[in-house]
Chain A
Amino acid sequence: MKYIIAESVDDVLRAFSENDGKAMVLAGGTDLVLDAESGKKSSDAWIDIMRIPELKEIKTEDNKIVIGSAVTLTEIARSELIKKYYPSLCKGAGTVGSLQIRNAATLTGNIVSAQPAADAAMALAPLDPEIVVVSNEGERILNMEEMYSGFGKSAIDSTRELVKEVRIHIPAENEKASFIRLELRKSLSLPMLNAAARARVENGVIKEIMINMAPVGVGPKRARAAEEFLLGKELNEENATEAGKLALKDANPRSNPLRGSKEYREETLPVIIERAVADIGVQLGLL
């Protein structure tokens, strides 16, 4: 195995073409290193992207927050810039694994490893990010749903494509986001369920809403029936409760021996969604 320490995005693109599908991008490595050992993923070379200066920044650009793909989850969880606009993303990023894992792992890696209930990816999902992917064919921008190609499967081919950064719009004054997690323990455990939402509310009425939930399908699943119900309605407790019930229409949870049966998850999901919606109301001073 070869180990390539890239110092620029161009280095990564060069390594892609020189190794023709045999060299894989390595970010934090907290999933990939284990997957390589178990044989789940294999490559002849790793391209370490964690020292590329332009990927290590959190900044604002063209009215967007830009998070480079070598930014660690600890850096996101503690970022004053992100906390100012989307504290829910700090919360989600700050919940993954343990501090040691967050000191290495990245937000982009949390998406590309494609586990449905990944907390950082979940907190990001309703912020409707633009995910910038570069390859030797050029640049393309994907939305969150386009990042997942199946259960536990990423749409990104890490031997030919590099996720460069995630861009998130700066929220309007009356726009807030939330992240809620049903957990067995605080550290080192995947959630039993998690959910995140974002809404823009004018005069108490919901003008824009996105709700995501997991693990109830592929990736952070949209609760579309709940979103449709809430759009144009008042943000109050009654509507939040109804949205929670409607979330089941888009959810198909599986049974997990550690993290809850299908039946248990179906009982608790409405409560988690209700809380995710209600939390936005609390942040806006409506509830």
Chain B
Amino acid sequence: MSEILKCIINDEEIEALVDPDMRLVDFLRERMQLTGTKIGCKKGECGACTIIMDGKAVNSCMVPVMRASGSVIQTIEGVEKNGRLHIIQEEFINKGAIQCGFCTPGMIMSSKALLDKNPSPTSDEVKEALGGNICRCTGYRKIEEAVLSAAKRLREEV
């Protein structure tokens, strides 16, 4: 049985007929073609599918699609604005915080959820925010540097 899902994805109002068995990550990737959100483990253990839902980082693989009803969702595709990369994305590039890139969308969404609420995170707070994102290239140090550096730039810009 299908149900109607209404939500906002990357500033756009969406209305779609969905099968409630579907998980949000599959809806984003297969129905919305937002394939920047990756599927790694599909068990909540890798964080590659992290999105921001109502201001909080969540694993979209564990969200039943209908839970998104009335929610405001941001995926990696919504982070760039007017053709310009977000400061967090720029700092990931500047600090070499990307190796194979598979974990990067999830890492950036977790980082953005943190910095949206906490402009001056400590190193421990960055680690807490990224603790659910696994990088199998193990480039954690540079990722942490990128987030702290992005936080600094974002503070200076305001």
Seen from chain A, the residues whose Cβ lies within 8 Å of a Cβ on chain B are 1-3, 5, 26, 29-30, 33-34, 46, 48, 50, 74, 97-101, 103-104, 186-188
Q: Tell me if B128 and A99 are in contact (CB < 8 A).
A: yes
Known: A1-B20, A97-B44, A104-B62. 8 other contacts (CB 8 A): A2-B1, A5-B69, A33-B63, A46-B64, A48-B64, A74-B56, A99-B128, A104-B59
Q: Tell me if B50 and A100 are in contact (CB < 8 A).
A: yes
Knowing A2-B20, A99-B132 touch, does A29 contact B67 (C-beta < 8 A)?
A: yes
Q: Out of A26, A74, A100, which one reaches B44, CB within 8 Å?
A: A100
Seen from chain B, the residues whose Cβ lies within 8 Å of a Cβ on chain A are 1, 3, 19-21, 23, 43-45, 47, 50, 56-59, 62-64, 66-67, 69, 110, 127-129, 131-134
Alpha-carbon separation in the docked complex, A188 to B23 (Å): 21
Name the B residues within 8 Å of A26 (CB-CB).
64
In the complex formed, the residue of B with least CB distance to A189 is B45
Q: Tell me if A101 and B44 are in contact (CB < 8 A).
A: yes
In the complex formed, the residue of A with least CB distance to B51 is A100
Q: Out of B43, B63, B129, B134, which one reaches A99, CB within 8 Å?
A: B129
Q: Out of B56, B64, B131, which one reaches A103, CB within 8 Å?
A: B56
In the complex formed, the residue of A with least CB distance to B114 is A99
Alpha-carbon separation in the docked complex, A182 to B62 (Å): 27
Q: Out of B56, B59, B64, B131, which one reaches A187, CB within 8 Å?
A: B131
Cross-chain pairs A/B with CB under 8 angstroms, 11 sampled: A3-B20, A5-B66, A26-B64, A30-B44, A34-B43, A99-B131, A99-B132, A100-B132, A103-B58, A187-B132, A188-B131
Name the B residues within 8 Å of A74 (CB-CB).
56
Alpha-carbon separation in the docked complex, A74 to B45 (Å): 17
Knowing A1-B21, A33-B64, A46-B20 touch, does A100 contact B69 (C-beta < 8 A)?
A: no
- For residue B14, give the distance in angstroms from its CB to the closest CB of chain A: 17
In the complex formed, the residue of A with least CB distance to B61 is A33
Q: Out of A33, A48, A186, which one reaches B62, CB within 8 Å?
A: A33
